[in-house]
Amino acid sequence: MHIHETRIDGKRFLDEIKACSCQKKTGGEYELLCRIHQRGETWYQCPESAGLLSRDDGRKTWYLTPEAQKTAREAIRRFEDAVARTENEKAIRVRLPEEKVSVALRRRSKTAFNAVLRFPDGQSLLTVRLLENKTVGEIVKETAGVLRRDMEKKETADLLERPSRRELPENPFYRAALASGDELLPVQLRLLYRLADKDDCKKLGKLLRRRVLPALGKEYDRVFTIPAREIDFGLLARSGYEFVHRPYFAMRDSTHSLCEINPHTKYGVDAGKDNAEPTSFRAFLALFEEDGSDTPG
């Protein structure tokens, strides 16, 4: 049997790390997600030297053999390389009013980005967070979450997550999108903020070469109950719909085989009442033809 942990002079040494990745650095310490034999997959702190791993604020420590150090150093190298590639001269830079908080975006595809978020951790140490293959909505949410840790930055967080049409020109992500020359990003942000009109959705549909549904008018501000198996969730996600999960303990008289969707607010619930009269997803899509809002693709 291979021994994966040994003790030398009272110190515990890990002989092997099966797999390792890094997405965050605070000060001179990296946060590594390591898969270790008989320990599963867990987050550990690791210094720049990659000589040891620690958990629980340093109360648990494992020293690394040269082979294990090699795996940890490779994860750190990949992290630093990805940060450098994302923050290069082609990056879309989001300038926030808060000191020492910055975001750099680099498009990976028509719908996904890599991003680097830099912010103080509250103890005078700078945290560098790498977000890979994320939508702009996920990056906005992560940035706003960082700002909400400080009550004085709540106003900026609100502006990032849900600006009004009047506030949109002051939104840091939207300003960066316009300055970048990226044709797609401003439209994606307007869709995210539920400010996209029919023309925006048509333009986005053409750029993505996929169908995009706009928000319907006030007269459609009601809930439609639709069988979950019929729904094209990819289409709804691309169109900016958000779904709330109804947990099983709150499922009295409801079922997850139905979903409730409002085509005006673009909000939905992943459950519906047992006794509701369902509408087919085909009939739901026909509402957009009635409204003259359908975007074929």
Question: pLDDT for 72-86, tens place per residue?
Answer: 999 999 999 999 999
User: Is residue 197 situated within a structural domain?
Assistant: no
User: Given a cut of 60, is residue 296 above it in pLDDT?
Assistant: no
Confidence of residue 297 (pLDDT cuts 50, 70, 90): very low
Question: Tell me: the pLDDT tens digits for 212-249?
Answer: 999 999 999 999 999 999 999 999 999 999 999 998 88
Distances (CA, A) of 222 to 7, 57, 106: 65, 50, 38
pLDDT for residue 151: 72
User: Is residue 198 situated within a structural domain?
Assistant: no
Same domain, 70 and 103: no
Same domain, 119 and 177: yes
User: Is residue 199 situated within a structural domain?
Assistant: no
Helix (H) or strand (E) holding 216: none
pLDDT for residue 86: 96
Among the candidates 82, 108, 134, a domain finishes at 82
Task: Report the percentage of the chain scoring pLDDT > 70.
Answer: 93
Same domain, 78 and 99: no
pLDDT for residue 10: 65
pLDDT for residue 4: 62
Largest CA distance in the chain: 78
Residue 194, judged by CB atoms within 10 A of its CB (0-12, 13-18, 19+), counts as: middle
pLDDT for residue 125: 86
User: Is residue 203 situated within a structural domain?
Assistant: no
User: Given a cut of 80, is residue 184 above it in pLDDT?
Assistant: yes
Question: Tell me: the pLDDT tens digits for 108-127?
Answer: 999 999 999 999 877 678 99
User: Is residue 97 situated within a structural domain?
Assistant: yes
Same domain, 61 and 100: no
Among the candidates 56, 82, 108, a domain finishes at 82
Residue 287's Cβ-side half-sphere holds a number of Cα atoms within 13 Å equal to 22
| Dist. CA 55–CA 92, nearest whole Å | 35
User: Is residue 187 situated within a structural domain?
Assistant: yes
| Dist. CA 16–CA 66, nearest whole Å | 9
| Dist. CA 177–CA 163, nearest whole Å | 15
Task: Report the percentage of the chain scoring pLDDT > 90.
Answer: 69
The encoded tokens of residue 268 equal 């939905």
| Dist. CA 281–CA 4, nearest whole Å | 54
pLDDT for residue 121: 79
CB atoms within 10 A of CB 179: 12
Same domain, 187 and 227: no
What is the reported pTM?
Answer: 0.83
User: Is residue 200 situated within a structural domain?
Assistant: no
Same domain, 97 and 70: no
- Supply the DSSP symbol for 51: -
Same domain, 20 and 77: yes
Sequence-distant (6+) residues with CB within 8 A of 138 are 131
User: Given a cut of 50, is residue 178 above it in pLDDT?
Assistant: yes
Same domain, 98 and 162: yes
Same domain, 97 and 149: yes
pLDDT for residue 56: 73
Across the chain, what does the average pLDDT equal? 90
**Which of the two residues, 151 and 61, has the higher pLDDT score?**
61
Question: Tell me: the pLDDT tens digits for 46-58?
Answer: 999 988 999 877 6
Same domain, 169 and 110: yes
Closest CA to 278 of 296, 255, 294, 247: 255
Instruction: Please count the structural domains in the chain.
Output: 3
- Determine the average pLDDT of the residues in 243-270: 92
The encoded tokens of residue 25 equal 């650095």
| Helix, strand, or coil (residue 220) | helix
pLDDT for residue 98: 76
Q: What is the length of the chain?
A: 297
The encoded tokens of residue 82 equal 């990805």
The encoded tokens of residue 131 equal 């977000």
The residue type of 263 is P
Domain residues for the domain of 136 are 92-192
Question: Tell me: the pLDDT tens digits for 24-74?
Answer: 999 999 999 999 877 788 999 999 998 899 987 767 888 898 999 999 999
User: Is residue 217 situated within a structural domain?
Assistant: yes
Same domain, 26 and 55: yes
Same domain, 32 and 121: no
Confidence of residue 291 (pLDDT cuts 50, 70, 90): low
Beta-bridged to residue 268, according to DSSP, are: 243, 261
Residue 67, judged by CB atoms within 10 A of its CB (0-12, 13-18, 19+), counts as: exposed
pLDDT for residue 1: 34
